[in-house]
Amino acid sequence: MKMKHVELFTQHRFKANIGQLLKHRGVITLISTALPYQ
């Protein structure tokens, strides 16, 4: 029971980290594409 909880928690953390990474990459992409047009 406890292992399942830890597994779910780890999975949630992993998904959150991926979401942050994708958001961060999206920001970098926006900046890199916007810079040449300034």
When pLDDT is averaged across residues 19-32 and rounded to a whole number, the result is: 91
Average per-residue pLDDT in the chain? 86
Predicted pLDDT at 26: 92
**Mean of pLDDT values over 22-29:** 92
**Is 24 exposed, middle or buried, given 0-12, 13-18 or 19+ CB atoms closer than 10 A?**
exposed
The predicted pLDDT at position 5 comes to: 85
So what's the pLDDT on residue 20?
A: 94
**pLDDT > 90 fraction of the chain, expressed in percent and rounded:** 47
pTM equals 0.55
Q: Is a pLDDT exceeding 70 seen at residue 4? A: yes
